[in-house]
Amino acid sequence: MNGKATAHSVVEASSRFKLFCGAIVVFYALVTITPLLWIFLTSIKTPGDSIAYPPKVLSEPTLEGYCNLFEIRSRQTPEYMASLPAADGYCDKLARSRNMVIAGASKTPGRLVNSLLIGFSSTFLAVFLGTLAAYAFSRFRVPVRDDLMFFILSTRFMPPIAVAIPIYLMYRQLGMTDTHFGMILLYTSVNVSLAVWLLKGFIDEIPREYEEAALVDGYTRLQAFVKTVLPQAATGIAATAVFCLIFAWNEYAFAVLLTSGVAQTMPPFIPFIIGEGGQDWPAVAAGTTLFVIPILCFTILLRKHLLRGITFGAVRK
């Protein structure tokens, strides 16, 4: 009994040692999460509180940052202010209290729509193309398969700025600079390599017997693919889609070089949210918070597949 306990002592650490390990990890986690919490706290501060010294941890919460993120204010004369009808709505009242009126909507909603549109479209295309290619690579004897797979992966490693130079010239010739279509196409091409590699891993794990049974039952290859492989690969396809979506959502280099207005996404836009009288930190923090929350949710959902996603399917568990 006693001997057995020592034999396990390395694999199962003593509870005091575990507590010690846990304490260090929790400390690191708290330190690492502080910048994110600070951004959130800044987003609910007034501009004055956000640049207070010493920094205020807790302040009267306000949604002013979020108002400024979505609306543009302008300063007016007291006479004009007095002539206005009573303020309606939360943001309007806040603006009035600072002797300003809301002059209209900001560019934020448009940028958010661009991010969503480009993100979802490129994800859909990349996963669609990736699923087909991954299935073929997984199930058929394709000549020069390893070389093709390497080629597909290697496109992912190209420095984005180096790719952007010829893409910029090409899109200029074709009239595709600053268009949704151009960005969707570009993000699809970057994401398709990830999609092929990840999905090949997932499809490799589905036993071939299912399809073979379907083929014996008289299904064609395409029917067998749609009826047996797709449903079983659903989790893998969903996980891959989330990874593609996160990439497109976060991408900055192409967006900042190839878009300027019409098709601009959130990442190049957020740093340039400028309020009345210089950098409006609560508004920037509000933009960052709204931008980051979906990513945090997806990360928690993806926990189990994270390892695969960041290693192109090489490490599974």
Partner 1 sequence: MTRLAGISDRTVAWLFISPTIVLLLAINIFPLIWTLYMSFTNFKANMGWVKYKSVGIENYADILTDSDIWAAMQTTAQFVFWSILFEVLLGFGLALLINRKFRGHGLWTTVILLPMMLSPAVVGNFWTFLFQPQIGLFNYIVSFFSGVDPASFQMIGDVKLAPWTIVLVDTWMWTPYVMLICLAGLRSIPDYIYEAAEVDRASAWRQFWSITLPMVLPFLMLAVLFRAIENFKMFDMVNLLTNGGPGSLTETVSITLKRAAFEKWQTGWSSALAIILFVVVFAVANIYVKALNKVKQQ
Q: Please list every residue from 54 through 73 that binds partner 1, using CB under 8 A.
A: 54-55
Residue ranges of E strands in the chain: 71-75, 100-105, 274-275, 278-279
- Which among 79-87, 89-97, 98-106, 294-302 is the span making contact with partner 1, rule CB under 8 A? 294-302
Q: Could you say which residues in the range 195-234 bind partner 1, by CB under 8 A?
A: 196, 220-222
- Which among 78-86, 99-107, 144-152, 229-237 is the span making contact with partner 1, rule CB under 8 A? 144-152
Alpha-carbon gap, residue 108 to 114, rounded angstroms? 10
Binding residue for partner 1 (CB under 8 A) from 44, 263, 270, 286?
270
CA 173 distance to own-chain centroid: 30
- Which among 61-69, 76-84, 93-101, 253-261 is the span making contact with partner 1, rule CB under 8 A? 253-261
Q: Under the criterion CB under 8 A, does residue 271 sit at the interface with partner 1?
A: yes
Structure tokens at 229: 């492989």
Binding residue for partner 1 (CB under 8 A) from 59, 75, 124, 160?
160
Burial level of 166, CB count in 10 A (0-12/13-18/19+)? exposed
Q: Under the criterion CB under 8 A, does residue 53 sit at the interface with partner 1?
A: yes
Q: Which amino acid is at 57?
A: V
Alpha-carbon gap, residue 1 to 166, rounded angstroms? 71
* Number of residues near partner 1 (by CB under 8 A): 103
- Residue 229 DSSP label: I
Give the N- to C-terminal CA distance of the chain in Å, as an integer: 33
Q: Could you say which residues in the range 80-139 bind partner 1, by CB under 8 A?
A: 129-130, 132-133, 135-137
Q: CB 123: neighbour CB atoms within 10 A?
A: 25
Binding residue for partner 1 (CB under 8 A) from 169, 213, 226, 293?
169
In the complex, the smallest distance separating the C-beta of residue 263 from partner 1, rounded to whole angstroms, is: 16
Alpha-carbon gap, residue 17 to 25, rounded angstroms? 13
Structure tokens at 278: 């210089």
Sign of the C-alpha dihedral computed for residues 296, 298, 300 and 305 taken in this order = negative
Which of helix, strand or coil describes residue 264?
coil
Q: Could you say which residues in the range 273-292 bind partner 1, by CB under 8 A?
A: 281, 284-285, 288, 291-292
CA 263 distance to own-chain centroid: 17
- Which among 48-56, 75-83, 97-105, 106-114 is the span making contact with partner 1, rule CB under 8 A? 48-56
Of 47 and 102, the one with the shorter C-beta distance to partner 1 is 47
Of 55 and 89, the one with the shorter C-beta distance to partner 1 is 55
- Which among 64-72, 77-85, 90-98, 244-252 is the span making contact with partner 1, rule CB under 8 A? 244-252
CA 124 distance to own-chain centroid: 15
In the complex, the smallest distance separating the C-beta of residue 121 from partner 1, rounded to whole angstroms, is: 14
In the complex, the smallest distance separating the C-beta of residue 73 from partner 1, rounded to whole angstroms, is: 21
Q: Under the criterion CB under 8 A, does residue 157 sit at the interface with partner 1?
A: yes
